[in-house]
Amino acid sequence: MFEAAKLGRRVPKEFFAAQVPELRTALLDAQFRLGASKTGVIVLVAGVEGSGKGEVVNRLNEWLDTRGVQTHAFWDQTDEEIARPRYWRFWRAMPPRGEISVLFGGWYLEPIEHRFRGQCTDADLDEELTRIRQFERMLIEDGALVVKFWFHLPEQEQRKRLKELARDDRSRWKMLPDKAKFPEEYSSFEQIAERVLRNTDTGIAPWYVIEATDRRYRDLAVGQTLLRAIEGRLAHPEPPPAAPLSTAPSLPPTAEAQVTLIDRLDLGHTIERNHYDREMKRLRDALNERAWAAYKAKRSTVMVFEGVDAAGKGGTIRRITSAIDARLYRTITIAAPTDEERARHYLWRFWRHIPRAGYLTMYDRSWYGRVLVERVEGFATHAEWQRAYNEINGFEEQLTENGIIVLKFWLQISPDEQLARFKAREDTSYKQHKITDEDWRNREKWDDYKLAVNEMVIRTSTEYAPWHLIAGNDKRHARVEVLKTVVQRLDAALAEKPSRAAAGTACERRRAARPTRPST
Amino acid sequence: MFEAAKLGRRVPKEFFAAQVPELRTALLDAQFRLGASKTGVIVLVAGVEGSGKGEVVNRLNEWLDTRGVQTHAFWDQTDEEIARPRYWRFWRAMPPRGEISVLFGGWYLEPIEHRFRGQCTDADLDEELTRIRQFERMLIEDGALVVKFWFHLPEQEQRKRLKELARDDRSRWKMLPDKAKFPEEYSSFEQIAERVLRNTDTGIAPWYVIEATDRRYRDLAVGQTLLRAIEGRLAHPEPPPAAPLSTAPSLPPTAEAQVTLIDRLDLGHTIERNHYDREMKRLRDALNERAWAAYKAKRSTVMVFEGVDAAGKGGTIRRITSAIDARLYRTITIAAPTDEERARHYLWRFWRHIPRAGYLTMYDRSWYGRVLVERVEGFATHAEWQRAYNEINGFEEQLTENGIIVLKFWLQISPDEQLARFKAREDTSYKQHKITDEDWRNREKWDDYKLAVNEMVIRTSTEYAPWHLIAGNDKRHARVEVLKTVVQRLDAALAEKPSRAAAGTACERRRAARPTRPST
C-alpha cells in the first residue's frame, strides 16, 4: 500500500512556483461554488510522525479562503469531552453545508495509537474500523464529502525528520526511539496503518496516500487532489447509492397479517386513585434516590418520550422531573430545527445536547421524528428514513458504550381516548394552545403512524436500548408504569460493576490513562 | 432588609390547595404568551443554606410547561469553563427570547461566598457588584426580564434545617457549623447578603426577599411574584429607559473641527520588496515562536480585524495564520447571525466563540459591527449602538481579566486606493465574488463610516485593549505593521509575571483553589 509513497517523487521549485497561482485560483473558485452547495467537506490529515501534517494544513489555509475553513486538532481532550461518548468531539467539529473542516487525525488517531501501543488486538481494531466505515458512510449519504490524506515517509527519511524535530525547541515532539528499535517500530506502525487504510479505503471515502519526502510534491498533490475531489462533487452532487437496507417483509393484505405491536397492546389497564397515590409516593422517593446515586456513579440517563398526540408525554415527564433535584436533569423539547442544525446531519442536533456524565436528560420527542413524522409527512425521503434505523441504532449504541442508560417510551392511547382528550383541551382555557389544526390532521393519518411506529419498534428495540410500550388510556397507569420502569432500569444499571469501563469497545476497555501522544 | 423575612408568615394547607389551580392556569397562559414575545426571562434563585431552593425550582417545573424552561446550576465548573472568562458560564445559560432560564445562584453565588470566606474585602465585593449591575442592565436593555428571588430563614429555623440536611443521606450538605459559632456565622452571612442585595436591588431588577420557613407560603409567593413580573412585562414590553450615555460633543460645522483620527493617519507609508521579505521572514518566525510560548503559558489571544472594504483584512489574516501552527488558531468570519444568535443579546454570538486558554482567535469583522455597519445602515437603533460602547468595553475588560490578550486593528485605505482595488477585483476571475453591489453602496457612505470609526476608536480604545490604526494603502507596510504589533503585544504580555492571576478582579486574585460549596 505504501510502495508508491517511497519512490522519491519530487517537484522542482520552478514548476511549483508556476503551478501554484493557477491551483489557488481554481481552489478559491471551487470553494466559492461550494459555499452555495449542500456539501460540507471533511478533510482528514493523517500519517506518520514527521510527515509535516501541520505544514500541509498551513498551506491549505494559505491557499483557501480561511472564511469557511475550520481546523480541529484533537490533542487535549477537555473534561466535557471525556464525560461524553467518544464521537461527541467529532460531531462538534462537523462543518455546516458549504464549509470545510480540516481534522488532524480525526477518528483514526486513537485506534491507530491504541493498536500501536498494544492496548488492543487486531480484532478490536477491526471492530473499530467497522464503526468508522459506518460513520463515514452516514456522513456521506447525508451529502458530506470526505477527503482522507495519509502522509508517508520512507524509514530513513522519517528517522531524519524525527531527529530534527527532537532538536527543535518549538516542536512538541521530544521523544526519539532508540536506534536499534527504530526499524522495528517503523515496520510495526506501517503494518497497522496499512490494516487501517485497507479496511477503510472505501469507494465513497478513499484514502489518498501521499509521499511526504518532498514538501513541494506533497503540498501540490494535496492541493490538486482536494481540488479534484471538490470539483467532482460539485459536478455530481447527488449522494452515492445507499447501502443495501434490511427492509421489512411485504405483508399479505389480510387484516390479521397486518396486526402490529400497537394492536397487541392492552389499553384497558387502570389504577385506582388510592393505589396510585401510594405507588407514586414510593416511586418518586425511589427515583430521587436513584438520581443521586447515578450522579455519584457518574452514570447519565437519556429518556426518550414518544407517543401519539395527547398520549400524556408532557404530564409523565413532569411526574419525573418534579421528583428529581432540578440540578440533575434537563428536559429538551424537540421542535423545528434551527438553521445551524439544518446545515448539518440530522443527528447533529441530538449529539450537541448529550448530557455530561451523571445527569438525566428527558427528550419530549426525539431523533425518532425521522422515522415517524418525517416519514409519514414525507419530510424525509424514503432512503433517508430507511437508513435512519441503522444510524439511530449506532447512535444509541455509542451512548450505551459510554455508560449512558437509554430509556425509550412509546405512549399509546386509543383513537377514542385521543378524541376525548382533544375535546377536553379545547374546553380548558390554558390548554387550548396545546391543540392545533395539525393535531387534527395527524389524527387522520392514524394508520400510517401505526405502521411507522410498528417498524420503528421492531427495528430499533435493541438489547442495549429497548422500547417500552406504555398503555396510556389511563394516565395513572401510564405514569406508574413509566416511573417503575425508570427505577428498575436505573437499579439494574447501577448494580453493574465496574459500570462505565465494561461498556466500551475493546480498545476503550484497555485505553490507558496516559495522554494522547502529540503529533507533528 | 430581612426583617420581613422573619415574621413567620404561613399559608394554610386548604388555602394553598385552593390557590394553586388558578395560579397554574395563569402561569401557563403567561408562559404561552411569553413564547410569542421578544422577552427572555432569567429567574435567579438565591438565598441562605437550607431555604429549599431546589424545592422551589421543582415547584416551578411542576407548575410551568417545562418546554421552554431550562434550569442551570453552577456547581461543578468544567475545565472548558475554567479556561475562559468567568461570565462565559452565564452566557451559555442565557435563554432565547420567549423562554425561561432558572439559575441557581447565578452570578451572585461566587462573590457572596468569597466574601463570606474572607477571600476579599467589602471594597472588592462592591467592585464586583458594580459589574453585576452593569451586566443585568445590559440584559434588560436588550429586552430580558430578570426576576431575582432571595430566600431567607430566621436563625433558629436555619439551624434546624441544616441539622436535618446533615442527617439526610441524599443531601449534599454534610457540614454543620459548631453550635457556638453558628450565631456569629449566621449574622456574618446575613450582613454580606444584605450588602449584596442593597447594592444590586435596582429599579429594573429588584430583589424579592421571601421568607422560606413555611414551604407553602414560599412557593405561593414565588409563583405569584413570577406571574406578576411576566404579566407586567408582557403588558409593557418596551425596555426601560436607557442609562445616561456619555455622548460625543457636538462639533462646530467647520472642516477643521470635523477632523477625525482617520484623517490624521498618514497613508503614504511604503516598504520596498526586499526589506519586506526580510522583515516578514523575521516576523513570521517570531510569531510562530510567540504562539507556542503563549500556548505553553496558557495565554489566549483575540485579534479583531476591522477596516474599510478592500483594506486587506483577509490577506493580513492569512499572513498571520500561515506563520502559526494550524492547531493553535481559529479564524472566525462574522457574517449574518444565525437564528439561534438572533434570539439573544448581540454579544452572545461572540461569547460562544471565546477560545480556550492558550489559543489564538482571529476575527474577520467582529462585535464592532454594532457601532459600524449597524449604526450607519440603521440596523441598530440609536440607543442600541450608543450603549454598545460600554457593553463592548465591559466585554473586552472581562477577556483581559482572564488573561486574554486583545488586539484590535483598524485597516484604513484612501478612497482612491479602494476604487483601484474594487476595479482590480472585478478584473480577476477568482476575486469577482469578493466585490458586490453592497461594496459600492458602502463606498457612498464613506463619510458616515469615517465618523463612526472615529467615535468607535475614541470610545473603545482602552488601556487594556487599545486600537491599532494601520495605514493600508501599501499592503506590505500594513502587513509588517500588524505582525510587528502582534509580536510586540505578545512579548509584553508574556513578560508579565504572574500572568493570569494578576489580571483578575480583587476577588478573583484571592480566589482559593477549593471547590465551590454545594448549596441545597
Measured between beta carbons, which residues in chain B are less than 8 angstroms from residue A356?
78
Q: How far is B71 from chain A (nearest CA, A)?
A: 7
pLDDT at B81: 82
pLDDT at B439: 85
Looking at A208-212, B376-380, B499-503, which range is the least confident one?
Answer: B499-503
Q: B58: nearest CA in chain A?
A: A322
- Does A61 contact chain B (CB < 8 Å)? yes
- Does A184 contact chain B (CB < 8 Å)? no
Taking CB atoms and an 8 Å limit, are A430 and B32 in contact across chains? Answer: yes
- Does B96 contact chain A (CB < 8 Å)? no
Copy the grid coordinates of residue B212.
Answer: 422560606
User: Does B12 or B242 have the greater pLDDT score?
Assistant: B12
- Does A427 contact chain B (CB < 8 Å)? no
pLDDT at A261: 82
Taking CB atoms and an 8 Å limit, are B54 and A170 in contact across chains? Answer: no
Measured between beta carbons, which residues in chain A are less than 8 angstroms from residue B289?
170
pLDDT at A371: 95
- B403 φ, ψ (degrees, to nearest 5): 90, 5
Cβ–Cβ under 8 Å, residues B353 and B212: no
Residues 430-469 of B with CB under 8 A from A: 430, 433
Residues 6+ apart with CB under 8 A from A64: A27, A28, A31, A100
pLDDT at A77: 75
At A399, the amino acid letter reads L
Question: How far is B238 from A31, CA to CA, in rounded Å?
Answer: 44
Q: How far is B170 from chain A (nearest CA, A)?
A: 7
Taking CB atoms and an 8 Å limit, are B29 and A429 in contact across chains? Answer: yes
Q: How far is B395 from chain A (nearest CA, A)?
A: 24
Question: How far is A101 from A95, CA to CA, in rounded Å?
Answer: 5
Strand partners of residue B364: B305, B333
- Does B170 contact chain A (CB < 8 Å)? yes
- Does A36 contact chain B (CB < 8 Å)? no
Note every long-range contact of B453-457, with CB atoms under 8 Å and residues 24 or more positions apart, other chains counting: B453/B260, B453/B261, B453/B262, B453/B372, B453/B410, B454/B260, B454/B261, B454/B262, B455/B248, B455/B371, B456/B368, B456/B371, B456/B372, B456/B389, B457/B261, B457/B410
- The runs of H, that is alpha helices, within B71-181 are 79-82, 88-92, 109-116, 122-141, 155-167
Question: How far is A387 from A380, CA to CA, in rounded Å?
Answer: 11
pLDDT at A515: 37
Query: Does the predicted interface ipTM exceed a cut of 0.95?
Result: no
pLDDT at A81: 82
Question: How far is B453 from A313, CA to CA, in rounded Å?
Answer: 54
pLDDT at B434: 73
Question: How far is B242 from A354, CA to CA, in rounded Å?
Answer: 39
Identity of the residue in B58, B289, B338 whose CB atom sits nearest the CB atom of A326: B58
Copy the grid coordinates of residue A148.
Answer: 482522507
- Does A168 contact chain B (CB < 8 Å)? no
Question: How far is A337 from A96, CA to CA, in rounded Å?
Answer: 14
B13-30: pLDDT as tens digits: 999 999 999 999 999 999
B204-232: pLDDT as tens digits: 899 999 999 999 999 999 999 999 999 99
Measured between beta carbons, which residues in chain A are less than 8 angstroms from residue B83?
78
Identity of the residue in A28, A80, A292 whose CB atom sits nearest the CB atom of B80: A80
Please list the pLDDT of chain A residue by residue as tens digits (520 residues): 788 788 888 899 999 999 999 999 999 999 999 999 999 999 999 999 889 998 999 899 889 988 889 889 887 777 788 878 889 889 989 999 999 999 999 999 999 999 999 999 999 999 999 999 999 999 998 999 999 999 999 999 998 888 888 777 655 555 566 777 888 899 999 999 999 999 999 888 999 999 999 999 999 999 999 999 999 999 988 766 665 555 555 666 676 767 778 888 888 889 999 999 999 999 999 999 999 999 989 899 999 999 999 999 999 999 998 889 888 888 888 888 888 898 999 999 999 888 777 889 999 999 999 999 999 999 999 989 998 998 999 999 999 988 899 999 999 999 999 999 999 888 876 677 777 888 888 889 999 999 999 999 988 999 899 999 999 999 999 999 999 999 999 999 999 865 444 444 555 544 433 333 333 3
- Does B179 contact chain A (CB < 8 Å)? no
Residues 107-166 of A with CB under 8 A from B: none
Measured between beta carbons, which residues in chain B are less than 8 angstroms from residue A67?
314, 331, 333, 364
- The residue with cell 475531489 is A229
Taking CB atoms and an 8 Å limit, are A321 and B62 in contact across chains? Answer: yes
Q: How far is A331 from chain B (nearest CA, A)?
A: 7
Measured between beta carbons, which residues in chain A are less than 8 angstroms from residue B327?
54, 57, 71, 73, 75, 104
DSSP SS3 for A211? strand
Measured between beta carbons, which residues in chain B are less than 8 angstroms from residue A59?
322
What mean pLDDT comes out for the span B221-245?
A: 84
- Does B272 contact chain A (CB < 8 Å)? no
Residues 369-408 of A with CB under 8 A from B: none
Mutate to test the interface with A, among B60, B61, B317, B333 (most CBs of A within 10 A): B61
Q: How far is A460 from chain B (nearest CA, A)?
A: 26
Looking at B159-163, B355-359, B430-434, B480-484, which range is the least confident one?
Answer: B430-434
Q: What is the mean pLDDT of chain B?
A: 87
Looking at B169-183, B252-266, B336-350, which range is the least confident one?
Answer: B169-183
pLDDT at B438: 84
Q: How far is A374 from chain B (nearest CA, A)?
A: 21
- Does B78 contact chain A (CB < 8 Å)? yes
Buried b (16+ CB within 10 A) or exposed e, A101-137: bbbbbbbbbbbbbbbbeebbeeebbeebbebbbebbb
pLDDT at B501: 41
- Does B168 contact chain A (CB < 8 Å)? no
Measured between beta carbons, which residues in chain B are less than 8 angstroms from residue A61?
318, 321-322, 326
Number of other CB atoms surrounding residue A368 within 10 Å: 26
Residues 4-23 of B with CB under 8 A from A: none
A297 burial via Cβ count (<10 Å: 0-12, 13-18, 19+): middle
- The runs of H, that is alpha helices, within A343-470 are 348-351, 373-376, 382-401, 415-427, 437-444, 446-460
Taking CB atoms and an 8 Å limit, are B364 and A68 in contact across chains? Answer: no
Taking CB atoms and an 8 Å limit, are B71 and A326 in contact across chains? Answer: yes
What mean pLDDT comes out for the span B448-453?
A: 92
Question: How far is B67 from A314, CA to CA, in rounded Å?
Answer: 9
Give yes or no for residue B354 having a pLDDT over 90: no
